[in-house]
Structure 1
């Protein structure tokens, strides 16, 4: 790795800290941040069998990236049913999502640590034919070792923050070496495309964000009917994927709303379901879905389960996409509510999805809020003015429909990187 002092230093540093990784992972497992039964996967040791035939490996950081990866898997499998897939992720919540949504012939594993030994074992075991990195997961040892082994690599929907891009530009030799390892790169936004072009020295496709093309989450019809029966005719709104520090803002906004709408219902979905008990205390003992408690006449309902956010977007005419109300947060994906018919509110801190929100704001498909009073005012307007709400919904749906071209272009490019399939033998014909 003499081509870059930064990469040489990184390789040496990861080699030095590698022997201590077990202590770190075990501490994370004790805190519930790692699956203690699968910690060995972080070191490149697996119990799952590698399927025969062509294997496509997709690597995604967390829940949002995993959703894109799963959509790509479904589409690639539809084009070629003989393909098998392995998807590596870094968080327990993403593992749970994959367990719920993984198509046939798809295996989930936890991503290996980016140390030479773990990466070597991973590649020797799985022997992928194609590696697809989703969005912003750039692990130097993993990428360069895969390239050396002859694995075709793609970076899709690349989307990097200003801070991350600045770091790469501060280490241009390392950045250039890493992006050159990919046979195909597509960017989710123009900012990332321009920065990668400067590093790579060639045009980067920036047709749009693949999350725009992701299908709306499936809805459990029975659960929907049960929830509607409990809600009745009450005015409702949703606070989706809240983080610590946002719940108080949302609850204060709801108190203001109840001054004019005494029977209003707030459905609050925490980003991390394990926070449900703490949020329920903040909300004066609000009922929790994880405990199967009924809504009854409670003003707040805590939906602290995993994989049901689509259900609540579908039920709610208005949704605050949280993860956006504090400066240290960077926003969440607004496309699911756009596709499920919930008018979108968001806080000002949406750096991770700035391109999507900019498009929504330009089209009139979302409303920005930042305080309890502004949230309450926006919800009130959308409750009272059906025409305005429907106009905003239509605008958001038009923005959400723009991802099909980017998705199809990505599929075609990935298919071109796969090894050619062997031709079936021709049937023998008897001579006349």
Structure 2
């Protein structure tokens, strides 16, 4: 199976070139960096030791930042390359990467492009995050004798059952990793049954994340603009959830006349589309876009559309209540990380579709540290209770914060397991 895949990808350069051109037209690639997707670096390799961390998109990249900071603090002669596959994650990395860390786009899995990437960067160690595995690049890593680890590894029951059908191929990919660190016992069992070696459970790195950053001047300005209005946040929304937020705002406004709804879309580039969609459906709503010269909500603003990148920490600090996005979305959901909001004292809610982070949500619900919403009507009722009952709100905030900080030592366990495969100084 892997030989067939490799042969297909050897002849895929031209169609993949066409695909990249189409993605460029849709704003899903950066023109000045498109060559990175073919393994051609846009910057020189720094001298000395270099670790390579790969994270598919935003969520994995946030976890990767935790690890990157720890590795750089441990070794002051180290440089780190991080690769991701989306424009949004690239912008996020450019904004948040520490010194001695650089970003490139991950190349598509054409053998020639993978080889060019490895030959340029010559990483001393490869650390891949979570679950994205590319056969040709993994083979190039193994052929180049680069020690590798799969960090924060996850594997859903559905994926496990699919990979079982081609176990020998998946086993060969896993053989490229000297170490596999899983988020839970079930996933560790899956990886072991599929041929993974040196498999351990270290829990989810997201628990060790530092609180999301913010600009203190922006926080003061935003809090001043909100003043004492009742406010709630819908964080990291996907298509369908902005309309849901607006409809909920409409239903609650009769009781909470000064209600302010803040929407932070997962992909800020959707801002113009969201604004037009909401103005069409709710022409009487006052809607302000933050991307419009960093405008602030006014006294009569209904919906504040925070279509900017990397400011979620600001809004979690300003809003006592946060519903986590992609849990009601049109794409079938999957959920986003609730720990970021919990670490900033938010009372947390989420919809029924959180399967990508099911274990975290199961635990947070078991600890009564978040509200599990099962419908739009439930959403309205629960949000109304939190807006109306200060004690209920404060109790939920306290449980949420306590839960988020009870597993802060995950990073220490990860670093301990990594120690034997780290190259010598």
Which bracket does the TM-score occupy, shorter chain normalised?
Answer: over 0.9
For residue 202 of structure 1, report the CA deviation from its aligned partner.
5.4
Q: After superposition, what is the alpha-carbon deviation per residue over 1:38-59, rounded to whole angstroms, capped at 9, x for unaligned?
A: 1101111113111111110000
1:372 counterpart = 2:376? yes
Q: After superposition, what is the alpha-carbon deviation per residue over 1:343-368, rounded to whole angstroms, capped at 9, x for unaligned?
A: 11101000111111001000001111
Q: Which moved more, 1:402-411 or 1:76-85?
A: 402-411
Q: Which moved more, 1:159-168 or 1:310-319?
A: 159-168
How many angstroms apart in 1 are the aligned matches of 2:369 and 2:186? 22
How many angstroms apart in 1 are the aligned matches of 2:399 and 2:175? 38
Residue 331 of structure 1: aligned partner: 335
SS of aligned partner of 2:98: coil
For structure 2, the residue ranges without an aligned partner over 5 or more in a row are: none
For residue 393 of structure 1, report the CA deviation from its aligned partner.
2.3
How many angstroms apart in 2 are the aligned matches of 1:390 and 1:294? 26
Q: After superposition, what is the alpha-carbon deviation per residue over 1:167-226, rounded to whole angstroms, capped at 9, x for unaligned?
A: 211111011111121111111133322210111265632231101111111121100011
Residue 276 of structure 1: aligned partner: 271
How many residues get paired? 416
Residue 354 of structure 2: aligned partner: 350
1:295 counterpart = 2:297? yes
For residue 135 of structure 1, report the CA deviation from its aligned partner.
0.5
How many angstroms apart in 2 are the aligned matches of 1:312 and 1:25? 34
Residue 417 of structure 1: aligned partner: 421
SS of aligned partner of 2:342: helix
1:221 counterpart = 2:222? no
Q: Is the 8 A contact 2:179 2:198 kept in 1?
A: no
Q: Is the 8 A contact 1:256 1:373 kept in 2?
A: no
Q: After superposition, what is the alpha-carbon deviation per residue over 1:288-323, rounded to whole angstroms, capped at 9, x for unaligned?
A: 000033311111110000000111111101001010
SS of aligned partner of 2:391: helix
Q: Which moved more, 1:149-158 or 1:18-27?
A: 18-27
SS of aligned partner of 1:61: coil
Residue 155 of structure 2: aligned partner: 160
CA pair 202-416 structure 1, distance change in 2 beyond 3 A: closer
SS of aligned partner of 1:320: strand
1:45 counterpart = 2:40? yes
Residue 263 of structure 1: aligned partner: 258
1:12 counterpart = 2:13? no
Q: After superposition, what is the alpha-carbon deviation per residue over 1:346-398, rounded to whole angstroms, capped at 9, x for unaligned?
A: 01000111111001000001111143322121112112223322322232223
Question: Counterparts in 2 of 1:7-406, with a 5 A limit?
Answer: 7-200=2-195, 204-281=199-276, 282-283=278-279, 284=283, 286-291=287-292, 292-296=294-298, 297-326=300-329, 328-406=332-410
| Structural RMSD (CA) | 1.5
How many angstroms apart in 1 are the aligned matches of 2:230 and 2:415? 42
SS of aligned partner of 1:205: strand
- Normalising by structure 1, we get a TM-score of 0.93
For structure 1, the residue ranges without an aligned partner over 5 or more in a row are: 1-5, 422-432
CA pair 15-403 structure 1, distance change in 2 beyond 3 A: farther
SS of aligned partner of 1:404: coil
Q: Is the 8 A contact 1:213 1:400 kept in 2?
A: no
Residue 424 of structure 1: aligned partner: none
